[in-house]
Amino acid sequence: EPEVTQTPSHQVTQMGQEVILRCVPISNHLYFYWYRQILGQKVEFLVSFYNNEISEKSEIFDDQFSVERPDGSNFTLKIRSTKLEDSAMYFCASKAGRTPSGELFFGEGSRLTVL
Protein backbone atom coordinates (compact mmCIF):
# COMPACT_ATOMS: atom_id res chain seq x y z
CA GLU A 1 0.00 0.00 0.00
CA PRO A 2 1.47 3.38 -0.96
CA GLU A 3 2.44 5.57 1.93
CA VAL A 4 3.95 8.90 2.82
CA THR A 5 7.41 8.52 4.30
CA GLN A 6 9.22 11.02 6.46
CA THR A 7 12.81 11.36 7.60
CA PRO A 8 14.24 11.69 10.12
CA SER A 9 11.87 10.14 12.60
CA HIS A 10 13.49 12.15 15.37
CA GLN A 11 15.95 15.03 15.26
CA VAL A 12 17.55 16.84 18.15
CA THR A 13 19.09 20.22 17.41
CA GLN A 14 20.44 23.26 19.17
CA MET A 15 18.50 26.50 19.18
CA GLY A 16 19.48 28.66 16.22
CA GLN A 17 20.43 25.76 13.98
CA GLU A 18 18.84 25.07 10.62
CA VAL A 19 16.76 21.94 10.26
CA ILE A 20 15.43 20.22 7.15
CA LEU A 21 12.65 17.68 7.43
CA ARG A 22 12.08 15.45 4.45
CA CYS A 23 9.00 13.81 3.07
CA VAL A 24 8.33 11.53 0.14
CA PRO A 25 4.64 11.86 -0.74
CA ILE A 26 2.65 9.19 -2.51
CA SER A 27 3.87 9.15 -6.08
CA ASN A 28 0.77 10.23 -8.01
CA HIS A 29 -0.34 12.82 -5.50
CA LEU A 30 -0.34 16.48 -6.44
CA TYR A 31 -1.02 18.36 -3.21
CA PHE A 32 1.36 18.40 -0.30
CA TYR A 33 1.06 19.66 3.23
CA TRP A 34 2.94 20.17 6.44
CA TYR A 35 1.20 20.08 9.78
CA ARG A 36 2.63 20.52 13.26
CA GLN A 37 1.65 19.01 16.59
CA ILE A 38 3.20 20.40 19.73
CA LEU A 39 3.35 17.66 22.34
CA GLY A 40 -0.08 16.97 23.79
CA GLN A 41 -1.79 19.57 21.65
CA LYS A 42 -3.83 19.60 18.50
CA VAL A 43 -2.54 19.18 15.00
CA GLU A 44 -2.11 22.54 13.26
CA PHE A 45 -1.92 23.35 9.56
CA LEU A 46 1.31 24.99 8.44
CA VAL A 47 1.37 25.09 4.66
CA SER A 48 0.01 23.55 1.48
CA PHE A 49 1.95 23.23 -1.75
CA TYR A 50 0.84 22.63 -5.32
CA ASN A 51 2.45 23.00 -8.70
CA ASN A 52 5.78 23.95 -7.15
CA GLU A 53 4.48 26.82 -5.11
CA ILE A 54 2.84 27.52 -1.79
CA SER A 55 -0.93 27.52 -2.08
CA GLU A 56 -1.85 28.49 1.44
CA LYS A 57 -0.05 29.02 4.69
CA SER A 58 -1.03 29.64 8.26
CA GLU A 59 0.17 32.41 10.55
CA ILE A 60 2.52 29.89 12.14
CA PHE A 61 4.41 29.59 8.85
CA ASP A 62 6.55 32.72 9.18
CA ASP A 63 9.78 33.73 7.45
CA GLN A 64 11.72 31.12 9.39
CA PHE A 65 9.94 28.37 7.48
CA SER A 66 10.27 27.40 3.84
CA VAL A 67 9.21 24.46 1.70
CA GLU A 68 10.36 23.12 -1.59
CA ARG A 69 10.17 20.12 -3.83
CA PRO A 70 13.71 20.03 -5.15
CA ASP A 71 13.64 16.89 -7.26
CA GLY A 72 10.05 15.97 -8.00
CA SER A 73 9.84 13.39 -5.26
CA ASN A 74 11.05 14.86 -1.98
CA PHE A 75 9.06 17.57 -0.27
CA THR A 76 11.05 19.40 2.39
CA LEU A 77 10.33 21.71 5.26
CA LYS A 78 13.20 23.93 6.34
CA ILE A 79 13.37 25.85 9.57
CA ARG A 80 16.13 28.43 9.22
CA SER A 81 16.93 29.22 12.82
CA THR A 82 15.16 26.95 15.23
CA LYS A 83 13.58 28.19 18.44
CA LEU A 84 12.63 26.23 21.52
CA GLU A 85 8.97 26.55 20.61
CA ASP A 86 9.59 24.79 17.30
CA SER A 87 9.85 21.54 19.22
CA ALA A 88 6.98 19.45 17.91
CA MET A 89 5.98 16.54 15.74
CA TYR A 90 5.87 17.59 12.11
CA PHE A 91 3.55 15.67 9.81
CA CYS A 92 3.76 15.64 6.07
CA ALA A 93 0.62 14.78 4.11
CA SER A 94 -0.34 14.40 0.49
CA LYS A 95 -3.54 14.27 -1.47
CA ALA A 96 -4.32 13.08 -4.95
CA GLY A 97 -6.76 15.69 -6.19
CA ARG A 98 -7.91 19.22 -5.62
CA THR A 99 -11.25 18.51 -4.00
CA PRO A 100 -11.33 19.41 -0.33
CA SER A 101 -13.08 16.16 0.40
CA GLY A 102 -10.09 14.14 -0.67
CA GLU A 103 -8.37 12.08 1.92
CA LEU A 104 -5.10 13.39 3.25
CA PHE A 105 -2.56 10.64 3.72
CA PHE A 106 -0.25 11.45 6.59
CA GLY A 107 3.29 10.28 7.18
CA GLU A 108 4.39 8.93 10.52
CA GLY A 109 5.82 12.26 11.57
CA SER A 110 9.22 13.71 12.35
CA ARG A 111 9.77 14.64 15.96
CA LEU A 112 11.91 17.76 16.34
CA THR A 113 13.46 18.56 19.69
CA VAL A 114 15.13 21.95 20.02
CA LEU A 115 17.47 22.35 23.00
Q: Which residues bind other proteins (CB under 8 A)?
A: 31, 33, 35, 41-45, 48, 50, 55-56, 89, 91, 93, 95, 98-109, 111
Closer residue to other proteins in complex, CB, 13/58: 58
Closer residue to other proteins in complex, CB, 20/104: 104
Please report how close the Cβ of residue 79 comes to other proteins at its closest, in angstroms. Answer: 19
Closer residue to other proteins in complex, CB, 45/76: 45
Please report how close the Cβ of residue 98 comes to other proteins at its closest, in angstroms. Answer: 6
Which long-range contacts does 36-41 make (Cβ < 8 Å, 24+ apart)?
Answer: 36/60, 36/88, 36/89, 36/90, 36/91, 37/88, 37/89, 37/90, 37/91, 37/109, 38/85, 38/87, 38/88, 38/89, 39/87, 39/88, 39/89
Please report how close the Cβ of residue 13 comes to other proteins at its closest, in angstroms. Answer: 19
Please report how close the Cβ of residue 67 comes to other proteins at its closest, in angstroms. Answer: 14
Task: Report the C-alpha gap between 89 and 86 in whole angstroms.
Answer: 9
